[in-house]
Structure 1
Amino acid sequence: MQNILRMKKYNVPCPCMLMLIILARLTTSNAVESDISCLRSIKEHLEDPLQTLSTWKFDNISEGFVCGFTGVRCWNDQENRVLAIQLANMRLRGPFPMGISNCTSMQVLNLSGNYLSGSIPSNLANNLPYIVSLDLSNNNLSGSIPSRIANWSFMSVLMLDKNHLTGQIPQELSKLTRLWKFSVANNRLSGPLPILSDATFPAESYANNLELCGDPLDACIDEDLVGLFLSGFEVGCSLFTILTMFFMLFFSPRLIIRNMVSYFKPMKKIKRKKHCLIPRIPQILVVDVAGIKKKKVNSPIPLSITCNDMFNTKLTSMEKFIRRLSLAELKMATNNFDNKNAIGYGNMGIMYKAMFPNSLLLAIKRLHRFDGFVKDFLLEIEILGRLRHTNLVPLLGFCHERKKSFLVYKYMCNGTLHQWLHCRPQVEAKKMDWVLRYKIAVGIARGLSWLHNNNVLRVAHLKITSKCILLDDKFEPKISNFGNSIILMNTSGIPSSDCNFLVPNANPSPYKEDVYSFGMLLLELITGMRNNPLTAYRCGLDVCVIDEYLVGQGFDEEIYKTHKIAESCIRDEATTMLQVYQAMQAIEISRNEITVDVEDNEGDF
């Protein structure tokens, strides 16, 4: 009795209450350990060239120690429970960190502007049930959008733009009733759009994908309705033909007989050879409804030349420069354009890797919509079909069938310069040392100066970026993507495909645009920045803006001289590409490490 009174006096908890407290402690402890494991996994599995995660040290396991990590916010500073991970624009590289699913209490995840690859884990929504904001934009993610994202009932922000996502947008996303910020632009998505809670999402949220349809884009085409329309059209044509024949047979026999007699009347003054039939073309009849009369029309009917006629004529004329391929050949080489063979995506179309029967490896660009890229298609054929140079991508063929257009190039096994500067793992990126970068820059300058000064077609490219520079097996640069170019002088005597492409007596400003873009490209090679290399120009060259892979390689003086050339390209209106190429060639010769090729064919300078 005294013990019972003592327990009441001191409010000693009963055994059940003690058990609940112990379980709560264990649950909290497990949750904290899970969050620490989550952060540790991110640091271990991602390359961190900027050493942003250097503050993430796990040797001091105390309450709230992770709350001081860069980019990490906790629910409160007294416990290691992660509320948000925000690591945007930190140049992190590697596959999507699977361990991130251990931060089970997290609400905000922002990994945008990095170089994450792989697919979005399908079980992410199950493991992170409280996510409110997810931003994975501007990465290298591929695969489809998981339909389980719809399980995030509290989701208000979903940004997946500027990746390489394929397939359809899951219709289940219509369950996200709280969504107010959303974008899947610049991917490879297709199919109908889901009906989201907020119908005010602009078309820009879906821009630059394959074949998306639905509000606010073009309406989707119902295949059943199309089939029904075609069936009705065929029936209508048949009925019209029958009625026309009935009318001609029973209401206009006189007209038919006259026409037949006129048609088969023997021709005079023409000696017919054996097995040679020359039919006589009947006279054009003008029927007068009041009294059926036949009038001779001697003058020919003027025919207007349609745009389609001009287009087909141009393609035929270009067949003497490059080969015209059939759609069946291209389908066979790409396994019917299987997504597994897709190697690149751009505003104009998708690039596929193709293997032809003779084991020739080529690249095929499939245009998204032909009616939107007629000019680009013709310009690409016009320029690359007639110009051949070491630093221009070789165009080997084209195809146009069933309102679908394709361009066939030589396959470049090393991809684009942009991929090597910004998207490669750290081990591979180190291969892009200064000697190789400078070799690439000299090749681009050589190609541009030849485009500006050759004796066949003088061309201003107008859109030189690291994305349009392809690299072959020896890292020789090849300029591509001429869809925005201008032909400034045509000295070949062969008509251009469209008078709008040719700019006679043009001032040198289009050439200057190429010079300026090349200067920006030089800064990108020096700094490794893809978003704003102009910082290096405005602030002057400093160790802090030079790409970390170039520091301490012994080429500081050469980098400084190249930076001066870039400044001249950007600042000096009088600078030409030929002057730039000659200046860069002089630096290369003075270094005396790379042999300069002086070609006497087709215009190397």
Structure 2
Amino acid sequence: MLSTAAIHKHAAKLLLLLVVAFVLPQVNNATTAATTAAASEPQILLSFKASISDPLGHLGDWQLPQNGSSSFEHCSWSGVSCDSISRSVTGLDLQSRNLSGALDSTVCNLPGLASLSLSDNNFTQLFPVGLYSCKNLVFLDLSYNNFFGPLPDNISSLRSLEYLDLECNAFTGPMPDDIGNLSQLQYFNVWECLLTTISPALGKLSRLTNLTLSYNPFTTPLPPELRHLKSLQSLKCGGCQLTGSIPDWLGELKNLDFLELTWNSLSGIIPSSIMHLPKLTSLELYSNKLTGPIPSEVEFLVSLTDLDLNSNFLNGSIPDTLAKIPNLGLLHLWNNSLTGEIPQGLASLSKLYDLSLFGNQLTGIIPAELGLHTSLEIFDVSTNLLTGAVPSGLCTGGRLQKLIFFNNSLSGGIPSAYEDCESLVRVRMYHNKLSGALPSGMWGLPRMTILEIYDNSFQGSVPPQLGHATNLQTLRIHNNKLTGTVPTDIDKLQVLDEFTAYGNKLSGTIPDNLCKCSSMSKLLLGSNQLEGEIPSNIGDLSSLAILDLSNNHLSGSIPPSIVKMVSLNSLDLSRNNFSGDIPPVLTRMRLKDFLLFNVSYNDFSGVLPQALDVPMFNSSFIGNPKLCVGAPWSLRRSMNCQADSSRLRKQPGMMAWIAGSVLASAAAASALCSYYLYKRCHQPSKTRDGCKEEPWTMTPFQKLTFTMDDVMRSLDEENVIGSGGAGKVYKATLKSNNEYSHLAIKKLWSCDKAEIRNDYGFNTEVNILGRIRHFNIVRLLCCCSNGETNLLVYEYVPNGSLGDVLHHPSTKISGVLDWPARYRIALGAAQGLSYLHHDCAPAILHRDIKSNNILLSDEYDALLADFGIAKLVGSNSSTEFSMSVLAGSHGYIAPEYAHRMKVNEKSDVYSFGVVLLELVTGKKPVGSPEFGDNGVDIVTWACNSIQSKQGVDAVIDPRLSPASCRQRDLLLVLKIALRCTNALASSRPSMRDVVQMLLDAHPGSNPPKM
């Protein structure tokens, strides 16, 4: 009989045998199975590749080996990740490969697949339910594709999913409640889809740490069930179009680290409850309709680093308690209605790097210690009511990039401390009351791209240090009291695009070196005391579009090299002492395509070249008594012809008789016309159609320097500069105290029985333009009416419309509108439209934004015009109107307007986005040959082209040369255009936000991600 020990020993042997006999074969079988599965995975991958489209060959290395090498070579294929031991495929990262086709369950035959990223491709289909077979899938990224339709009700079939990213697709309808059964889900992102409701089932996702609901047309408040997500760390809902107020129960989410509820329609006050979230580091509530003050309890957000409340209707003062948040680094309170002073305590925030308070009604001084205890990078308090001095310590930390405080009433000089602030990129301090000399070193800061000090009272000269600012692109110093000469070192500014110095007291000559700034598109030196001749090498400025040297003491002749300025479209040499002949070389410059050509009030002599002796240049040569012109129209203009003209010398008697007859006839016609106008203006009569003609009445909206008779005398067919469906437009030239001014008079069609009730927008234009004032909106000076005919008198805008300049077949676009000029126009138009939407009470919908209704001033500032179909938004009415008649222009009309006859401010935003696309592409909204014959418009064409093989390059205007077009900045504007033309109105930005995005896209910004 065996002992107990022997039995135990025997049992141990038996167990070992069992292990050998049964367990080891199982291990071998498992290893063999894994090896077999891994060996078959290349075929699965190739089958998946065959089911999709790869037009650019990004999966070209997915090929079976031809030389008998390892069967695991597929682990080195692009985008494929394998387990290091089993060599089984665990992940596919196929983002940004231009793939398309229909996804099925093929890829789910990879048993170890845990991660699948198909982001940024061109898949167009319903949600791929075939992926439900991927039972081990933990990570799924389908963002930035064209998936559409509803999210499926049984999405929880992906039971292992922890990460789900569906951003930027076209999923529609409600969010399914089944989403709450993805019990492992930690990250869920549906940014910029088309979902209409937020499922309360989200409250069941207890593991969720990041929830992004941004840019969807959700029209309901946040569901209260979200309060159960006690472990929620991040909540984003930007652009969801959430309504109502911010719920108090958000304060219960004590673990919340990030809270974003931006781009919605949230109203009411900011609840104090969310000011008691101890872990919150970022609070973003911008672009809503929030009112009331900023809660003083903000001090209890002890972990806060970013506070962004911009673009709301917040009022009251900035709370002093902000100074108690130790880690606050970013403070954005811009575009609100905040009043009071900037709290002194902000100067003690040692982590503060971005302080943006612009677009409020702040008063008082800028705290003197601001910047002394921190490293500010961005300081922007522009467009407020601030007074006092510029503090000296804003650049103490040596990191200040943006020093912006324009449109205030700051006074005094600029502290010398800024001479050493080499980090500065943008310096914008225009429209203040600053004086003294700008510190000499500040002119030459090496990284500076923008220096704008215009409309102040700065004195002193422009020092040679300017030559050190080799990155300077925009130099605007006009309307100051600067003296001295233009520095010769200016030729070192090889990327200088714009130099405006008019309205100063600059003297001396124009240096030859200035003509070495070959990138310059605008040079405005008018109204100074410059003398000498135009440099003979002026033609080297081949990129120059606008040249203004008027009102100086320049002399000599026009240099022949001017013909080399192939981009020039605006030339003003008036009111100088130029002499000699008008050079025939000017006739080679296609002056008829110029937006402005003026050499009046000089001392030119000789015979005007015949090609220039045409009516379109009537006012271009006046004030040159020695200049002989030979055409009869010139005599009618009473120009003194004293030179030796061969035509006049052949038959002096006959010519004298003709001249006398012409002058006599002109005098008689003038007398008759004056009498007729007097009778029309002062005596009621009846027209041949029986419409009673009442006496003329004039209603002024500005201080006027002209009379009703001046207006009537200008209604001559020779003065017609345009005609349209509503009437004719006349250009009036008036003289007062030897100064000439110009008006544009719109004469609306007279009374007609068939159209007796049609005033052609007269009342609308009067009601709107008569009461608003903005730099980027055309000025209505007065209106005149006699019961039959209505006149609208505007300030004359010399450069026509953007549509004419951009699309006219004879326009040389590369010279007329380079990218900086187009950007300037885009920003100006956006600022004008933002004023209508956000700063007028009641708000104004333009309803006919298009390039032909954006006029261009003498400095290419954009002016919105034609308010004939504009609509006032009453304070007590809905901001959306149901229209019975579709108004607007083909190619610019928003989808919801065309389909549902609904119009609101987002309809204007869409139209403006089309204008941005015009500026980027150079194409008309409809009818361009590239669009084909299928009724495709510029929006559809641009979207399709960007997704083609050529990508973004396919849409950029090829006439924008690399020298004048900074492509990185252009891409930023293209992205803004695409956002503005989003088919979903609620996903479009407001014009207030468009303005800020355009400001951020100023030439010199960082490149965008497309």
TM-score norm. by structure 1 comes to: 0.41
Q: Relative contact order (alpha carbons < 8 A, sep ≥ 6): 1 or 2 greater?
A: 1
More helix by share: 1
Structure 2 length normalisation: TM-score? 0.26
